[in-house]
Chains A and B, each alone.
Chain A
Amino acid sequence: MHFLNLFVVVPALTIVAILFTRDLKGARWASAVGMSIQLVLAGALVFMYLSARNAGVADEMLFTADSTWFPSLNIRYAIGVDGISVAMIALTAVVIFAGVFASWEMEFLSREFFISLILLCSGVFGFFISLDLFTMFLFYELAVIPMYLLIGIWGSGPKEYSAMKLTLMLMGGSALLTVGILGLYFHSAAAGGQHTFHILEIAKTDIPVTAQRFFFPFTFIGFGILGALFPLHTWSPDGHSSAPTAVSMLHAGVLMKLGGYGCFRVAMFLMPEAANEMAWIFIILTTISVVYGAFGAIWQKDLKYINAYSSVSHCGLVLFALLMMNQTAMNGAIIQMISHGLMTALFFALIGMIYSRTHTRIIDQMGGLMKVIPFLSAVYVIAGLASLGLPGLSGFVAEATIFVGAFQHADTFHRVVTIVATTSIVITAVYILRVIGILLLGPIKNEHFEHLGDAHWYERISTIILVLGIAGIGLAPLWLSDMINFSLAPIIGKLSGLVNDVPLVLN
Chain B
Amino acid sequence: MHGYAYTVYILLIPFIIFIFLGLFGNRFKPMFSGIVGSAGLLVSFILSLTTAYRYFFASAPGEDGYTAIIAMNAVWLRLTETLHIDMGILLDPISVMMLIVITTVSLMVHIYSIGYMKGERGYERFFSFLSLFTFSMLGLVVAANIFQMYIFWELVGVSSYLLIGFYYQRPSAVAASKKAFIVTRFADLGFLIGILVLSFTTGTFDFQTLTDPAGPAVTHAGGATFLGLSVITWSLILVFMGGAGKSAMFPLHIWLPDAMEGPTPVSALIHAATMVVAGVYLVARMFPVYALAGIPALNVVAYVGGFTSLFAAVIACTQLDIKRVLAYSTMSQIGYMMLALGVARYGGHEGLGFMASMFHLFTHAMFKALLFLCAGAVIHAVHTNYMNEMGGLRKYLPITHITFLVACLTIAGIPTFAGFFSKDEILAAAWHHNKFLFFVEYIVAGLTAFYMFRLYFSIFQGKQAHYHHVPQEAPYVMTIPLMLLALVSVFSGFIPFHSLVTSDGLHLDTRIEWGVAIPSVLIAVAGIGVAAVMYRKESALPERMASTFRHLYTWSYHKFYIDEVYLFITKKVIFRYISTPVAWFDRHVVDGTINGIAWVIVSASQKVKGLQSGQLQQYALVFVSGAVLLILVFICLLY
Do the two chains touch directly in the complex (Cβ atoms below 8 Å apart)? yes
A278 at the interface (CB under 8 A from B): no
Which residue of B is nearest A291, CB measured?
Answer: B582
Q: Which of A230, A404, A434 has the most CB of B within 10 A?
A: A404
Q: Do the beta carbons of B155 and A391 come within 8 Å of each other?
A: yes
Q: Do the beta carbons of A390 and B155 come within 8 Å of each other?
A: yes
B75 at the interface (CB under 8 A from A): yes
Given A165-B598, A426-B186, A400 contacting B147 (CB threshold 8 A) = yes
* B178 surroundings in chain A (CB, below 8 A): 433-434, 437
Q: Do the beta carbons of B193 and A368 come within 8 Å of each other?
A: no
* B608 surroundings in chain A (CB, below 8 A): none
Which residue of A is nearest B580, CB measured?
Answer: A299
* B185 surroundings in chain A (CB, below 8 A): 388, 425-426, 429
Cα-based distance from A388 to B188 in the complex (angstroms): 13
* Closest CB in chain A relative to B569 CB, distance in Å: 12
Q: Do the beta carbons of A422 and B193 come within 8 Å of each other?
A: yes
Binds B, one of A124-132, A315-323, A475-483: A475-483
* Closest CB in chain B relative to A332 CB, distance in Å: 8
Contact with A along B411-434 (1 / 0, CB 8 A): 000000000000000000000000
Could you tell me the dominant secondary structure of chain A's interface residues?
helix
Give the number of residues in A that approach B within 8 Å (Cβ atoms): 61
* A449 surroundings in chain B (CB, below 8 A): none
* Closest CB in chain B relative to A82 CB, distance in Å: 18
Cα-based distance from A36 to B334 in the complex (angstroms): 55
Among A283-314, those with CB < 8 Å from B are: 292, 295-296, 298-300
Cα-based distance from A236 to B579 in the complex (angstroms): 18
Among B576-598, those with CB < 8 Å from A are: 578-580, 582-583, 586, 590-591, 593-595, 598
9 new A-B pairs (CB below 8 Å) besides A295-B578, A429-B185?
A235-B594, A296-B579, A298-B574, A298-B575, A299-B575, A400-B147, A433-B178, A442-B168, A482-B78
* B595 surroundings in chain A (CB, below 8 A): 165
**A-B residue pairs in contact (CB < 8 Å), sample of 19:** A165-B595, A169-B594, A234-B590, A235-B594, A295-B582, A328-B79, A385-B158, A389-B154, A391-B150, A391-B155, A397-B77, A405-B79, A407-B196, A407-B197, A410-B200, A441-B174, A478-B75, A481-B78, A504-B78
Interface residues of chain A, those whose CB is within 8 Å of chain B, are 165, 168-169, 230-235, 237-238, 292, 295-296, 298-300, 327-328, 368, 370-371, 385, 388-392, 396-397, 400-401, 403-405, 407-408, 410, 418-419, 422-423, 425-426, 429-430, 433-434, 437, 440-443, 477-478, 481-482, 485, 502, 504-505
Q: Do the beta carbons of B174 and A437 come within 8 Å of each other?
A: yes
Q: Do the beta carbons of B196 and A403 come within 8 Å of each other?
A: yes
* A299 surroundings in chain B (CB, below 8 A): 575, 579-580, 582-583
Q: Do the beta carbons of A404 and B83 come within 8 Å of each other?
A: yes
* A298 surroundings in chain B (CB, below 8 A): 574-575, 579
* Closest CB in chain B relative to A311 CB, distance in Å: 13
B85 at the interface (CB under 8 A from A): yes
Cα-based distance from A425 to B110 in the complex (angstroms): 33
Contact of A296 among B181, B189, B582 (CB under 8 A): B582
Give the number of residues in B that approach A within 8 Å (Cβ atoms): 50
Q: Which of B175, B185, B199 has the most CB of A within 10 A?
A: B185
B76 at the interface (CB under 8 A from A): yes
* Closest CB in chain A relative to B598 CB, distance in Å: 7
Contact with A along B240-277 (1 / 0, CB 8 A): 00000000000000000000000000000000000000
Q: Do the beta carbons of A478 and B193 come within 8 Å of each other?
A: no
* B155 surroundings in chain A (CB, below 8 A): 390-392
Which residue of B is nearest A397, CB measured?
Answer: B77
* Closest CB in chain A relative to B534 CB, distance in Å: 40
B292 at the interface (CB under 8 A from A): no
Given A370-B168, A478-B75, A300 contacting B193 (CB threshold 8 A) = no
B64 at the interface (CB under 8 A from A): no
* Closest CB in chain B relative to A437 CB, distance in Å: 5
Which residue of B is nearest A485, CB measured?
Answer: B78
Cα-based distance from A423 to B150 in the complex (angstroms): 16
